[in-house]
Structure 1
Amino acid sequence: MKTVYKIVVLLFLVSTIFSCTTKKNKPLEGKIKRELIGFAPKVTGRILEIYVKEGDLIKKGDTLAMLDVPEVHAKLSQAKGVLKAASAQRDLAKNGATANQLTQLRAKQSGIKEQFKFAQKSYARAKGMFADSMMTAQAFDETTAKYLGAKAQYDAVNAEMNEATKGVRTESQTAAQGQKDQALGVVQEVEVAYSERYIIATNEMLLETISLHEGELATAGYTLFNGYQPLTTYFRFTIPESKIGNYKRGQAITIHVPYAKTDINGKIVTIKQLARYADITAAYPDYQIEEAIYELKIVPSDEDKVENLLVNATITLN
């Protein structure tokens, strides 16, 4: 019985020593990372053509896809019609009446002028006769009313003629110009939306995934193209509070890439605390639950050397 007990104790001690040695010698694990980027349409439309494929190196300004947006095309036609009407109103307000309208107004002015002269002469005679008591008050009042009516008509046609020859008042011209500017703004807005049927790359990217295919509906804001920005590789490690004192910002670090069997020199650029335990990178972490967890971000000394490394591959830090 004592022999069995000794064997159990011995096995326990050996297991403990082996476990401690393994944990002590186990290197810290991290991941290879790159900066992600995605491109999404600003308008909703059906995909007509995709001009790139997964694995392509996309350059800034490349056209990635074209969408069919018939609704925007219809709005563009409507906006151009409104602009044409507003432009005509503005020109009418600025230029005044046409030659035919001026001819008609001159004829109208001439006829009313003759009527006014006749009424004026009649009023002058009636005034003298009324003063000599040769006309009743009723007849004089009727003559006076005709004279005043003819004078009002003559003043009105003169004002109409003046407006036709000089154009409408400044306020009306300004209002017409404002309506044209507003319509022009609507056209420009719709033209911008229509140009968004082309999805253009704004940055360089190594295209990794294309979310949809030709013929499918792409909604505004939905990312169609995902990939990594070139020359943005970095290494990420999660370090427990008990070991973070061994690392300083700016410290030179050597990273080992097991699958590539190579070592990479780098430098620690940031050390920040992680708010969530799920952000750790080690597959089998051995941290105390009460410990704070920190992230090391290490950039390589030679970007070209790490450009072909696989994203999310495991790396170690001795």
Structure 2
Amino acid sequence: MKKNIQILLVGIFGLGILIWLGITFYLAYKPKPQILQGQIGAREYSVSSKLAGRIDQVFVKKGDKVKKGDLIYTIKSPELEAKLTQAEAGYEAAKAVSDETQKGARVETIVSARDLWESSKAMADLAEKTYKRIQGLYDNGVASLQRRDEAYAAYKSAKYNESTAYQQYKIALDGASAETKKAAAEKERAAEGQVNEVKAYIKDVEAYSPIDGEVSNILLYSGELSPSGFPVVLVVDIKDAWLKLSIPESYLENFQVGQKFQGYIPALGKNVNFKVNYVSVMGDFATWKATSSTESYDMKSFEIEAKPIGEIEGLRVGMSVVVKLEEK
């Protein structure tokens, strides 16, 4: 009886060894899931100015939370202030010329021209009467032909002077021509446009945040010279974050636009659900691997971008995300 028990124990022990060996070989040769690692990116905005100048003051520091419309930095530009003074002076001069053109000649000029015309008209009337008297004398044989011609010439000259004086009076009364008035008005508008242009640049001495976000970097500080359009301060919108990940070609069917998957963020110690919103149209050989000799192509990888589903507390740009792929 005792011998039977020993044989049974040996059999059980042997079976256990066989089971252990089977499990060990199974686990050793079982296909292991492939691990992919990506990282979090986010939309970054540059706060810049179209105005070149020296940075006057920066009101933020790295890590500050800012709201859309917050003042980020200011630029000091004495040259721009001088240009504004010059533009305003040019506008005032053009406006004065335009006003004078639209109003016409001064009252004194009009009165003087009218008096000159009336004087010329009186002289023309007198010359006409003189000519008619001498013409009558000539018809009666009292005055000579020479005297009659001289009176006629004096009469015609007086009429011409009257006409010239009247035209001068009309010019003074009517003012400048329509074309001259239009040209003066357009010059005034052009000068006003120059003033508005300089004022628009002056508004850009203050740079504001375009979004709600966090200051990620400051490239220039007070006293440094900023070129036009240079990104002085960078602001990150962490709410507009995404995961960038390279997917092997054989798994791409599981990561099409709109599909969801889960990734683990070690820095936060939790799993997060993502939704694919972009798949690269071109494959990349940077992470390719050769297939077996029986296959007819080499494996490529495709870059995808996926948005986190819901807001993730504590998420930062550059955090690693681990995604497990079951081996096919």
Whether these two folds match at TM > 0.5 is: yes
Kindly state the Cα deviation for residue 123 of structure 1 after the two structures are TM-superposed: 3.0
**Equivalent position of 2:305 in the other structure:** 297
Q: 1:201 to 1:107 in 2, by over 3 A?
A: same
Say whether the 8 Å CA contact 1:38–1:224 is kept in structure 2.
yes
Kindly state the Cα deviation for residue 236 of structure 1 after the two structures are TM-superposed: 1.1
**Equivalent position of 2:323 in the other structure:** 317
Instruction: Map 1:219-230 onto structure 2 (within 5 A).
Output: 219-230=227-238
- Match for 1:114: what amino acid? A
Kindly state the Cα deviation for residue 130 of structure 1 after the two structures are TM-superposed: 5.0
Kindly state the Cα deviation for residue 260 of structure 1 after the two structures are TM-superposed: 2.3
**Equivalent position of 2:123 in the other structure:** 115
Kindly state the Cα deviation for residue 216 of structure 1 after the two structures are TM-superposed: 0.8
Aligned residues: 292
Q: 1:110 to 1:295 in 2, by over 3 A?
A: same
Q: TM-score with structure 2 length normalisation?
A: 0.79
Say whether the 8 Å CA contact 1:273–1:293 is kept in structure 2.
no
* In 2: Cα distance, 1:84 partner to 1:23 partner: 85
* In 1: Cα distance, 2:271 partner to 2:89 partner: 67
Q: 1:111 to 1:71 in 2, by over 3 A?
A: same
Structure with greater strand share of residues:
2
Structure 2, unmatched stretches of 5+, are 1-24, 291-296
> Relative to structure 2, which stretch is displaced further, 211-220 or 78-87?
78-87
SS at match of 1:27: strand
**Equivalent position of 2:5 in the other structure:** none
**Equivalent position of 1:241 in the other structure:** 249
- Match for 1:224: what amino acid? V
* In 1: Cα distance, 2:51 partner to 2:141 partner: 88
Alignment partner of 1:83 out of 83, 91, 114: 91
Instruction: Map 1:182-197 onto structure 2 (within 5 A).
Output: 182-197=190-205
Kindly state the Cα deviation for residue 133 of structure 1 after the two structures are TM-superposed: 6.0
Say whether the 8 Å CA contact 1:46–1:218 is kept in structure 2.
yes
**Equivalent position of 1:177 in the other structure:** 185
Q: 1:146 to 1:294 in 2, by over 3 A?
A: farther
Alignment partner of 1:53 out of 45, 61, 68: 61
Confirm or deny that 1:231 pairs with 2:239: yes
SS at match of 2:202: helix
Q: Deviation digits for residues 248-304 of structure 1, max 9, x if unmatched?
A: 3222211101222211112122222346656xxxxxx4545954431221111112x
Structure 1, unmatched stretches of 5+, are 1-16, 279-284
Q: What's the Cα RMSD here?
A: 2.8
State the identity %.
Answer: 26
Say whether the 8 Å CA contact 1:257–1:263 is kept in structure 2.
yes
Q: TM-score with structure 1 length normalisation?
A: 0.81
Q: 1:127 to 1:194 in 2, by over 3 A?
A: farther
Alignment partner of 2:212 out of 204, 207, 210: 204
* In 1: Cα distance, 2:144 partner to 2:222 partner: 96
Kindly report structure 1 stretches of 4+ aligned residues shifted beyond 6 Å. Answer: 20-23
Q: 1:51 to 1:251 in 2, by over 3 A?
A: same
* In 2: Cα distance, 1:101 partner to 1:197 partner: 49
Say whether the 8 Å CA contact 1:273–1:292 is kept in structure 2.
no
Alignment partner of 2:133 out of 110, 125, 138: 125
Kindly state the Cα deviation for residue 184 of structure 1 after the two structures are TM-superposed: 1.3
